[in-house]
Amino acid sequence: MILYITPHAWDKLRAYTDNCNDEIGGMGKLRLENGNFYVEDVEIYDQVVTPGTVDLTAETLAKWQVTKIKAKESLAPYTFFWHSHANMTVFFSATDKTTINGSTEFPFLVSLVINHKHELVARLDIFKPVHVTVEQLTIKVLDTVNSDLITLCQQEIAEKVTRPVYTAPKRSTGFHTDYRDYLPGARRPLLPLSQTLPDLPYPVKNEEQDADEKQYAKLEERLAIVMTLPKNKKNQKAIQALEGQMSQILYQIEGL
């Protein structure tokens, strides 16, 4: 079983990923043919992102589905969920797995994680009649370059992708100044686009990366718990502190 990414979908996937400093995610059209999957198109929806998170809430998905229905477009082909890990390595985090496992409205779902280095990892989840997961799908990409499409994706990111607003006092060091590179307009330049791309091996992690990812996963789990608590100043400070620590891990991985 192979996941093929068509040239059109690959151009858009890179354009969305390369032009957003933070994480970014969306849905895509998938075609099943002769036991293999073909990603024919990808798109983004309105979302709030950080360097280490991207939302796909039930409300977000419902709003996006209503838009498709109003446009008289079938939802059946949209069984592809993708998102970027920005500067992180590619893996399915605890939050990713929770999102995927809760997507039981789909008969099946192919999920993919990409990063700024264009590393990829994908999995297949079949929900009916029982939930079965196929890890690490083989990925093959047919590559082209479409400059006009990249420009359109840049414009769409500017319209749909925002970051949360934090109101805590500014400090000379720590969490708030760490985010100075992620202010509106501080876009990462486009990465070079190669003409061809061979079969993609799964990235090999070193011990330091593995330790960073484990620490990041622990912080992510703590953040998920705090996010469920009542909104008050104490919990807001805890959220900001956890996101600050997660941000530091991201910067450490890339040496920012």
The answer as to whether 72 is a domain residue is yes
The answer as to whether 67 is a domain residue is yes
Max Cα-Cα span within the chain: 58
The answer as to whether 131 is a domain residue is yes
* Chain segment 5-50, per-residue pLDDT in tens: 999 999 999 999 999 888 999 999 999 988 899 999 999 988 888 7
Question: Domain limits at 11?
Answer: 1-204
What is the reported pLDDT for 254? 54
Question: Which candidate, 88, 53, 12, 43, places its Cα nearest to that of 162?
Answer: 53
By the 8 A CB rule, do 87 and 250 touch? yes
* Chain segment 231-243, per-residue pLDDT in tens: 788 888 888 888 7
Residues above pLDDT 70, as percent of the chain: 79
**DSSP letter at 102?**
T
What is the reported pLDDT for 139? 95
Could you give the dihedral angle defined by the CA atoms of residues 42, 48, 54 and 55, in that order, rounded to the nearest 10 degrees?
A: -90
Q: How many domains does the chain have?
A: 1
- Please give the backbone phi and psi of residue 238, each rounded to the nearest 5 degrees, phi first: -65, -40
Distance, in Å, from the CA atom of 252 to the CA atom of 36, rounded to the nearest integer, reads 38
Tell me the mean pLDDT in the region 205-224. Answer: 76
Q: Give the pLDDT band (50/70/90) at residue 196.
A: very low
The answer as to whether 234 is a domain residue is no
What is the reported pLDDT for 126? 93
| Residue 188's CATH number | 3.40.140.10
* Chain segment 138-161, per-residue pLDDT in tens: 999 976 667 777 888 888 888 888
Distance, in Å, from the CA atom of 48 to the CA atom of 64, rounded to the nearest integer, reads 14
Signed CA dihedral, 232, 223, 98, 48: sign only: positive
The answer as to whether 19 is a domain residue is yes
By the 8 A CB rule, do 22 and 51 touch? yes
CB atoms within 10 A of CB 4: 18
The answer as to whether 120 is a domain residue is yes
- Whether omega before 169 lies within 30 degrees of 0, making that bond cis, reads no
* Chain segment 58-87, per-residue pLDDT in tens: 777 788 888 888 998 888 999 999 999 988
Can you read off the two tokens belonging to residue 237?
């400070």
Distance, in Å, from the CA atom of 169 to the CA atom of 167, rounded to the nearest integer, reads 6
